[in-house]
Structure 1
Amino acid sequence: MAFAGKYEFEGDENYDEFVKKIGLPSDKIELGRNCKIVTEVVQNGNDFTWTQHFPGGRTTTNTFTVGKEADMETFGGKKFKATVKIEDGKLVAEFPNYRHTAEISGGKLVEISTSSGVVYKRTSKKIA
């Protein structure tokens, strides 16, 4: 389960349906559509620093240890507490209104968020 690296957005599925389902405002929906996010993951055992760099210089960083409660932030900017777990080699977190998983598959970072049956999938290719 090696996640460390830098990943650049490659593609996504069901973005509009998902972000509307979780209540993102229309201005944030438009900004996020096909957004070339770069995700940087620093991993030291079960300790992670997960940073997303957005165009225009905005970043979101979540630091957590698997199995311990941590302060987190959604990509919509809401702050909350969560405990990240490992299930079948995937990192899993329960966000306020969706479930998020992340895994490395075929050398790519695959993130899946699910809310009320709507599944959003984002794939990023490793660049460093």
Structure 2
Amino acid sequence: MAFTGKYELETQENYEEFLEAIGLLNAKTDHKVVTEVLQDGNDFTWTQTIPNWTWSNKFTVGQECELNTMMGSKFKAPVTLEGGKISIQFPQYLFTAEIIDDKLVMNCVIPGEKGVTFKRVNKRI
């Protein structure tokens, strides 16, 4: 499957600004981030791990799913996959992810006044 794999943070842009905009002012930004994606057809398990913290969501493309924010609150949103790109509208930002040159590229876009775009490129490990 295209997304299945374990990935390690390679580069990121605007992470601190993104965390500030969503209210995670005291989050550490100097840690190793590992993202593990398990894809079985349209079913996904998406897990991000840093030391002392794990955030995981299970979802099915094409359905409305119950998901968790990074701060632990639950919400419901449809998950789409178009042109090889997963899209999920979180309460504060639009999350997209795609595989480009065997790298997992994730973007979180906060619209409006705050207008922050956070980009993370992860290499396969």
Distance of 1:60 and 1:22 partners within structure 2: 16
Instruction: Give the partner amino acid of 2:109.
Output: T
Runs of 4+ with >3 A deviation: none
TM-score (norm 1): 0.88
Q: Is the 8 A contact 1:71 1:80 kept in 2?
A: yes
Contact 1:9 1:35 in 2 (8 A): no
Question: 1:48 corresponds to which letter in structure 2?
Answer: F
Could you tell me how far 1:55 is from its partner in structure 2? 1.1
TM-score by length of 2: 0.90
Counterpart of 1:101 in structure 2: which amino acid? T
Shift, 1:39, TM fit: 0.7
Identity %: 52
Q: Shift of residue 114 of structure 1?
A: 0.2
| 1:35 correspondence with 2:31 | yes
Letter in 2 for 1:125: K
Q: Which residue of 1 aligns with 2:108?
A: 113
Q: 2:67 aligns with which of 72, 80, 83?
A: 72
Structure 1 unpaired stretches of 5+: none
2:13 maps to which residue? 13
1:47 aligns with 2:43: yes
Counterpart Cα distance in 2 of 1:119 and 1:69: 24
Give the Cα–Cα distance (whole angstroms) in 1 for the partners of residues 94 and 59 of structure 2: 16
Instruction: Provide the rounded CA distance (Å) in 2 between the counterparts of 1:87 and 1:75.
Output: 24
How far has the Cα of 1:75 moved from its partner? 2.1
CA drift of 1:88 comes to 2.1
Unmatched tracts of structure 2, length 5 or more: none
Q: Which residue of 2 aligns with 1:126?
A: 124
Could you tell me how far apart the structure 1 residues matched to 2:50 and 2:58 are? 18
Residue 100 (str. 1) matches residue 98 (str. 2): no
Moved more, 71-80 or 46-55: 71-80
Aligned to 2:79: 84
Matched AA of 1:111: M
